[in-house]
Amino acid sequence: MTQVAEYKADTDLSQYRVKGEIPVPTLIGWLTLAAVPLIVFFAYRSSLRGDPTAPVFLVVFAGLLAINGVAYLISHNSTLQRRGFITVITALFTYLAIQAVEDGSAIIWLFAYPPVVFYISQSRVGVIACSGGLVGVAMLFSPIGDQLFDTPYTASFRLTMLVVFAFEISTCYVLDQSRRRSKLGLLKLAQEFEYAAKHDTLTGLANRREVLAQLENEYQRYLRNSRTFSVLLMDIDLFKSVNDKHGHHIGDEMIKLVASTLREQCRKVDTLARWGGEEYLVLLPETNTEEAVKTANRIREAVSRKSVNADGQDVAATISVGAATIRNAESVDRLLQRADEGLYRAKTLGRNTVCDFEGTFTD
């Protein structure tokens, strides 16, 4: 029976892709490719100015980013790639701010931090990293920062930088939340479409297309490993008269009743499907004829013990079942044909019966 994955608001959405979205590892790859030569360029500029330490630090940062990129290409570990990238750029931006690289103008690169961090990590990580960045900049601009570091930032620059940085972080947070909510909505919609494409609306059982796909999978396994499987084709007896006497609403209730009985009586590995109007197909993997007939009779008996209430009157339900087990090199079509012949036989033998196309198996 198909399980539907649940997307929750706090799920790490980066593991699910929506068409058109840039995958996080790809984005980090491109950012790394752009950042490495840029950092080397600024290292070169610093060396021209005779700065003794900045070129070394910048080349080390470029090297770490490159190593992180190569490590991902080898390991394909995207979590490690993301964490490595965030760690290196956080250290790099901290260095640019406190060392006032490029006469202090390099601190402007901090504005690249919030959109990147919010995009590539979970919302919570984005909030923590960006708030940390804001507090860090505030500390740097405070009298404590002035005691620790020799920076050229003017008072008005400090004020503007702090306000604009806080504004940018808030904007990135709001846009990121909106992006995550839309993505969640799209994923849920895709999930609903997928469910609707594979299930019958009235009963929630698999539909004909889905069970045919499962049958094909099971058939391929049979061809590869000789894993026997069986099918049960079932039909509610004299269903037309239920509709005629009690109305379609009661007929629908009976269709649902048989579906819920199938759920009660079958294993999780079985595929339960609504094959047509009041017909069902059950696919039983790794099941021989004897076990299939046993299951069919168990279902048949369980259904016969149930009834639908129509204006105070109990309307009993019975089903007829045709059973067939895959054999030799027969096709899926032939298997279904044999199950159908069994069902026809069960109907002609008086209904509420299990048959294959050769014999009757009522207990």
- Binds ligand GTP by CB under 6 A, chosen from 209, 240, 267, 327: 240
Q: In whole angstroms, what is the distance from residue 10 CA to residue 337 CA? A: 49
Nearer to ligand GTP, 45 or 351 (CB): 351
Active-site residue (options: 216, 278, 291, 330): 278
Least distance in Å: CB of 357 to ligand GTP? 17
Task: Characterize the bridge pairing of strands 354-355 and 319-325.
Answer: parallel
Q: In whole angstroms, what is the distance from residue 2 CA to residue 5 CA? A: 10
Residue 102 near ligand GTP by CB under 6 A: no
Residue 267 identity: R
Nearer to ligand GTP, 215 or 255 (CB): 255
Residue 354 near ligand GTP by CB under 6 A: no
In this structure, the number of other CB atoms found within 10 A of the CB of residue 118 comes to: 23
Q: Name residues contacting ligand GTP, limited to 188-227 (CB under 6 A).
A: 202
HEC readout, 246-294: HCHHHHHHHHHHHHHHHHHHCCCCCEEEECCCCEEEEEEECCCHHHHHH
Residue 243 near ligand GTP by CB under 6 A: yes
* Site track for ligand GTP across 155-194, x = CB under 6 A: ----------------------------------------
Nearer to ligand GTP, 158 or 347 (CB): 347
291 in catalytic set? no
- Binds ligand GTP by CB under 6 A, chosen from 245, 248, 267, 327: 248
Q: How far is CA 37 from CA 34, 40, 47, in A?
A: 6, 5, 15
Least distance in Å: CB of 119 to ligand GTP? 48
* Site track for ligand GTP across 277-316, x = CB under 6 A: xx--------------------------------------
b/e per residue 127-136 (b: at least 16 CB within 10 A): bebbeebbeb
Please report the sign of the dihedral spanned by the C-alpha atoms of residue 322, residue 324, residue 330, residue 332.
Answer: positive
Nearer to ligand GTP, 72 or 239 (CB): 239
Residue 101 near ligand GTP by CB under 6 A: no
Query: SS3 for 111?
Result: helix
Nearer to ligand GTP, 218 or 279 (CB): 279
Nearer to ligand GTP, 10 or 314 (CB): 314
Size of site (CB under 6 A) for ligand GTP: 16
Q: How far is CA 105 from CA 108, 141, 161, 234, 258, in A?
A: 6, 14, 11, 77, 74
Nearer to ligand GTP, 183 or 347 (CB): 347
Residue 123 near ligand GTP by CB under 6 A: no
Please report the sign of the dihedral spanned by the C-alpha atoms of residue 63, residue 69, residue 70, residue 71.
Answer: positive
Query: SS3 for 175?
Result: helix
Using alpha carbons, select from 286, 281, 261 the residue that is nearest to residue 322.
281
Q: In whole angstroms, what is the distance from residue 70 CA to residue 64 CA? A: 10
Stretch of residues binding ligand GTP (CB under 6 A), selected from 104-112, 118-126, 152-160, 232-240: 232-240
Residue 235 near ligand GTP by CB under 6 A: yes
Query: SS3 for 88?
Result: helix
- Binds ligand GTP by CB under 6 A, chosen from 84, 126, 133, 251: 251
Q: Which residues are catalytic?
A: 278
Q: Which residues bind ligand GTP (CB under 6 A)?
A: 202, 235-240, 243, 248, 251-252, 255, 277-278, 347, 351
